[in-house]
């Protein structure tokens, strides 16, 4: 069973309480779950080590690329579960880049999109597994 | 499905209200200004809406010339499924261009509403501390 109870509030709260460490745990689990949910597309989402190393080397640009890819991957795989997401990687990236200029709210919106879409896919995946 | 979507929006809205209230209480306010000392593209928006609530439209324009846009975009996002895809994308691009243009103009012409003070930013203070 894949976690369907991810939430933005929990993510923010635990990230503040753990001085940012929880956000890395979150990314680790998110990458892992997305690789299971979208395994049929033959692609692979980079894990935490790759995320941290390449983000440091590229001054954070790889993190944007990672989020963009995840947004796209979720949108591309939604039809497999009879779902449709209106947001894709571009929406996530736009919120990350331009949304940050609006009192820093953009990255939260982007994370909300990713969490919402991952939860929806996970719910559909779990339902399929139970029916099988 | 629509109900789930509205529930998600409400949850997100409440989370943001709580988070930014928390920022306000602990003295951070706008996280971008707090970190960098440079105001963000949304700075002045709250004061503009307070002016609007007092029916002072001139004051609202003074604090943020695009004060009316968030409400328009709120409805665009709420009825996203009913808005044609091309029009939705155009609206997003127009919003980004308008906010960026106004932001650059205000940064280049600092005044009482928007003033740059990098030395008051957390990053600068932290750097000096090191």
**In this structure, is residue A108 part of a structural domain?**
yes
Chain A residues closer than 8 Å to B94 by CB:
none
Tell me the pLDDT tens digit for each residue of B11-38: 888 988 899 889 889 988 889 999 999 9
Taking the C-alpha atoms of residue A21 and residue B118, their distance in angstroms, rounded to an integer, is 28
Residues 6 or more apart whose Cβ sits within 8 Å of residue B44:
B63, B64, B113, B114
Does the residue A3 lie in any domain?
no
Residue A82 in contact with partner chain B when CB distance is under 8 A: no
Instruction: Give the number of other Cβ atoms within 10 Å of residue A81's Cβ.
Output: 17
Please indicate, yes or no, if residue A2 is contained in any of the structural domains. no
Note whether A103 contacts B: Cβ–Cβ < 8 A: yes
B80 falls in which pLDDT band (50, 70, 90)?
Answer: confident
What end-to-end distance do the CA atoms of chain B give, in Å? 52
Cβ contact, residue pair B16, A105, below 8 Å? yes
Q: Three-state DSSP class for B120?
A: helix
Number of H helices, E strands in chain A: 6, 0
Binary contact (A101, B100; C-beta < 8 A): yes
- CA nearest B102 in A: which residue? A101
Residues of A in contact with B31 (CB under 8 A): 103-104
The closest CB to that of B40, out of A8, A103, A109, belongs to: A103
Quote the pLDDT of residue B2: 63
> What range does the domain containing A104 cover?
8-131
Name the closest residue on chain B to residue A87, using Cα atoms. B80
Could you give the ipTM of this predicted complex? 0.75
B16, B43, B103: residue with CB nearest A108? B16
Residue range A37-82, pLDDT digits in tens: 999 888 999 999 999 999 999 988 999 999 999 999 999 999 999 9
If phi over 0 gives left and psi between -120 and 50 gives alpha, with beta otherwise, what is residue B44? left
Distance from CA of B42 to the nearest CA of A (A): 5
**Total number of domains in chain A:** 1
Decide: A51 and A63 in contact? Cβ < 8 Å.
yes
């Amino acid at each position: 069973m894949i976690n369907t109870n991810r939430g933005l509030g929990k993510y923010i709260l635990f990230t503040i309480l753990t001085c940012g460490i929880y956000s890395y745990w979150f990314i680790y689990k998110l990458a892992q779950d997305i690789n299971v949910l979208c395994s049929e597309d033959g692609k692979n989402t980079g894990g935490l080590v790759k995320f941290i190393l390449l983000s440091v080397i590229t001054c954070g640009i790889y993190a944007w690329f990672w989020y963009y890819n995840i947004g796209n991957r979720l949108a591309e795989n939604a039809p497999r579960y009879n779902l449709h997401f209106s947001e894709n990687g571009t929406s996530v990236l736009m919120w990350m880049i331009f949304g940050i200029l609006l009192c820093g709210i953009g990255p939260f919106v982007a994370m909300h999109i990713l969490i919402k879409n991952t939860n929806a896919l996970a719910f559909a995946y779990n339902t399929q597994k139970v029916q099988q | 499905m629509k109900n789930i979507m509205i529930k998600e929006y409400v949850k997100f809205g409440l989370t943001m209200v709580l988070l930014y209230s928390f920022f306000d209480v602990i003295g951070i306010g706008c996280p971008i200004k707090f970190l960098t000392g440079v105001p963000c593209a949304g700075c002045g928006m709250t004061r503009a809406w307070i002016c609007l609530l007092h029916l002072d439209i001139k004051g609202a324009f003074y604090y943020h010339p695009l004060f009316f846009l968030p409400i328009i975009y709120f409805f665009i996002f709420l009825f996203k499924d009913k808005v044609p895809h091309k029009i939705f994308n155009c609206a997003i691009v127009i919003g980004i261009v308008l906010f960026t243009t106004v932001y650059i103009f205000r940064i280049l012409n600092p005044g009482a509403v928007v003033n740059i003070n990098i030395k008051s930013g957390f990053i600068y203070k932290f750097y000096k501390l090191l």
